[in-house]
Structures are given as structure tokens and as C-alpha cells.
């Protein structure tokens, strides 16, 4: 049972260095956490809002007792608002940063000397609330923060239920399928490993602009899993482990991270390039071509995939044309003259393209 909010002195409230909002930028202390929020969480708009209208008290912070300091609390929900209030109240906390803070009216300064806080017994007690609000509610986190939150819940050492049962609960709380969550969680573990092994730093990956979805989408593809040493069989709860990529495949992991996230990433068009990269990674010739050129188009063609893709499109074209022909009489009955004219023009253009292809194929190909 969550208790009603109470007012707590600002000086007794502390930032949470384990806050998933930080992604993998794990702060070592509160000062570092504050610096991360200032740099990454865009609290400038909060400074202006609080200075102009005061602190909106309808939504309290969520905190747990600080076990090391009686009477003090660690805020696990609302760190961005807490950071804004702390810096407005004490501009010296900005350190050497040359940031001009708005001037506070004395009324507002007194108002933020205490903040409304709901104190809970532990982190787990607040997880259902946090999960709704930030994972599928109105104030969403990015996918990397969601992944960290979900993995923390799955690995909760105080929860002695079977992993499959915990995962089922997570699918209900987070609103995603089991398969989707498994890919996200394993991808998170892989990303942690890439940081630990220095891959992220060596490739100069920008954590703040990371397209984390690239990684967990790749894990849906068995050849992509095999490329980094994961089993080609379906992922399971037991796949969510520390350092899932074998040491023998770290070079492949480095290649994959470069192709997905590096300064010369081959992913330019998300809808088409990720599937093409998956196909290339299923081909030894394609992988070698991509390694030597970092050119996805060249690797795709070298592996013969451009030819296969083109041939597949011709089969789809024929199937679509067959369906259009089968439905023509029924659909045409309900179309007016202008719609029929537009459709005729569209089909005429399509015929021109197909005639051009047949011509390029030479005599006897029709």
C-alpha cells in the first residue's frame, strides 16, 4: 500500500545513481548523477517552468529511505524535477558550467525548499507504477532505459518465482510479447558487455544518440545471432545472462556494433537496411565484402542477394497482378469515371515499366 505524499526538505532528497533514465551512464555519486542529468536530460525547460509558475505539486516524487543517512531519501521517480530544483536552489551545484539560471522569486524559492514525496518501502513496491508511467504511459523512456528497467525486474534476487513466471508478469506490465522482451533484454546484456569490453568506446559510439532498436531487431534473425556466437535456437529466459557473447566472437560483435552504431554505420534507411544487413550476415561472401568495404550495397550485390532480391520482387509483382486481375470486375463496379481514369493511367505506367524490363531481357524472354 503506497502512502499519501508528504513534504520533505529539499536538502534531504538525493538523486538516484541507479535511475534507469541514465541508460548505461552509471553515475558513481550524486554529483555525477546531477552532471549527467544537466547534460543529457534537458532540464532547461523545467528551470523556466518552475521559475515562472512554481513547482507543480500534483505529481509527487517517489522515494525510498536512505539506509546510510537517517531522515534522508533517495528519489527513484522524479530525478529530473529534483535536479531542476536543486540547481535552482543552489546554482553553485552547476560547478564550472557557464549556465545562466532564471532568477527565482522568493515565493518560488520558499516553495521548492520542500517537495511532495511518496515514500515507499523499497524499489519493488514502486515498480508497477513506474512501469506503467514510463514504459507504456504518457512520460516514456527511450528503449535502452526500458530495457534496463525490465532486466532489473527479471533479475530481482528477492523474487523466487521461476523465470518464465516472472517474464509472464513482465509482458503484462510492460505491454510487449515475451519474444519481444527477450530480444530487448538480451540486447541490453550484449550492450553492457560491449561497454565492458571497450567496444563502445573504441568505435566512438554516442550513448545519447544510440538507436538501440537496431540491436534487438537484429536478434530476431538466427544468422545474426549465430554471427555473434549466440544459439540459433529461439531465445529464452535463460538467455538473459551477463556477457552472452562468447570471447571467441568479440571481433564479430565489434564489427556488428560498427555496422549498426559506428560513425560510418551502414544503416541509412531503417526500414530496408536492417533486413538487408541481416541477409548479408547470413552469407560468408557478404560478410567479407562488408568488412572490406563497409558498403552495404556492394556487400548485398557481392553475396548475390541483389539478384535474389530482384527475382523475388518479380514473383511478388506477378502475384499482385494476379490479385488485381481477379478483383477487377467487382472493384470497377463501384468506381466512378474519374477513379477509373486514374487507375487506367497507373496501370499504363506499370505496363511501360514491365515492357522495358522484358525488352532488356532480349528476344524470346516474353
Q: Quick one: pLDDT at residue 251?
A: 96
Domain extents in the chain: 6-121, 154-265, 335-366
Given a cut of 70, whether residue 142 has pLDDT beyond it is: no
- Give residue-wise pLDDT tens across range 14-61: 998 877 665 535 677 888 888 888 877 678 888 988 998 888 887 789
Query: CATH says 6-121 is which class?
Result: alpha beta
pTM as predicted: 0.59
Separation between Cα atoms, residue 257 and residue 204, nearest integer Å: 10
- Give residue-wise pLDDT tens across range 241-288: 999 999 999 999 999 999 999 988 999 887 789 999 999 998 899 999
Residues 147, 187 contacting (CB under 8 angstroms)? yes
Question: 30 Cβ partners below 8 Å, 6+ apart?
Answer: 14, 15, 17
Amino acid at each position: 500500500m503506497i502512502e499519501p505524499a508528504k513534504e520533505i526538505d529539499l536538502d534531504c532528497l538525493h538523486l538516484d545513481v541507479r535511475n534507469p533514465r541514465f541508460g548505461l551512464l552509471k553515475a558513481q555519486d550524486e554529483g555525477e548523477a546531477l552532471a549527467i542529468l544537466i547534460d543529457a536530460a534537458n532540464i532547461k525547460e523545467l528551470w523556466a517552468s518552475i521559475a515562472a509558475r512554481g513547482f507543480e505539486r500534483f505529481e509527487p516524487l517517489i522515494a525510498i529511505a536512505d539506509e546510510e543517512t537517517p531522515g534522508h531519501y533517495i528519489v527513484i521517480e522524479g530525478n529530473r524535477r529534483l535536479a531542476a530544483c536543486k540547481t535552482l536552489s543552489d546554482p553553485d551545484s552547476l560547478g564550472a558550467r557557464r549556465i545562466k539560471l532564471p532568477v527565482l522569486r522568493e515565493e518560488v524559492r520558499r516553495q521548492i525548499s520542500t517537495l511532495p514525496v511518496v515514500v515507499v518501502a523499497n524499489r519493488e513496491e514502486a515498480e508497477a507504477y513506474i512501469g506503467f508511467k514510463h514504459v507504456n504511459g504518457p512520460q516514456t523512456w527511450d528503449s535502452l532505459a526500458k530495457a534496463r528497467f525490465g532486466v532489473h525486474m527479471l533479475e530481482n534476487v528477492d523474487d523466487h518465482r521461476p523465470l518464465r513466471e516472472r517474464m509472464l508478469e513482465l509482458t503484462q506490465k510492460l505491454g510487449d510479447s515475451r519474444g519481444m522482451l527477450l530480444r530487448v533484454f538480451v540486447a541490453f546484456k550484449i550492450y553492457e558487455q560491449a561497454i565492458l569490453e571497450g567496444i563502445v568506446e573504441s568505435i566512438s559510439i554516442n550513448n545519447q544518440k544510440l538507436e538501440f532498436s537496431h540491436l534487438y531487431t537484429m536478434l530476431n534473425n538466427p544468422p545474426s545471432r549465430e554471427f555473434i556466437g549466440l544459439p540459433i535456437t529461439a531465445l529464452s529466459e535463460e538467455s538473459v545472462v551477463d556477457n552472452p557473447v562468447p570471447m571467441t566472437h568479440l571481433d564479430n560483435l565489434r564489427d556488428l556494433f560498427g555496422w549498426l552504431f559506428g560513425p560510418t554505420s551502414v544503416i541509412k534507411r531503417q526500414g530496408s537496411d536492417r533486413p538487408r544487413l541481416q541477409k548479408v550476415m547470413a552469407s560468408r561472401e557478404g560478410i567479407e565484402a562488408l568488412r572490406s568495404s563497409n558498403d552495404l550495397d556492394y556487400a548485398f550485390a557481392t553475396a548475390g542477394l541483389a539478384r535474389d532480391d530482384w527475382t523475388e520482387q518479380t514473383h511478388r509483382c506477378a502475384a499482385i497482378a494476379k490479385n488485381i486481375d481477379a478483383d477487377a470486375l467487382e472493384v470497377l463496379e463501384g468506381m466512378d469515371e474519374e477513379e477509373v481514369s486514374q487507375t487506367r493511367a497507373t496501370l499504363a505506367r506499370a505496363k511501360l515499366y514491365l515492357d522495358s524490363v522484358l525488352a532488356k531481357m532480349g528476344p524470346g524472354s516474353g
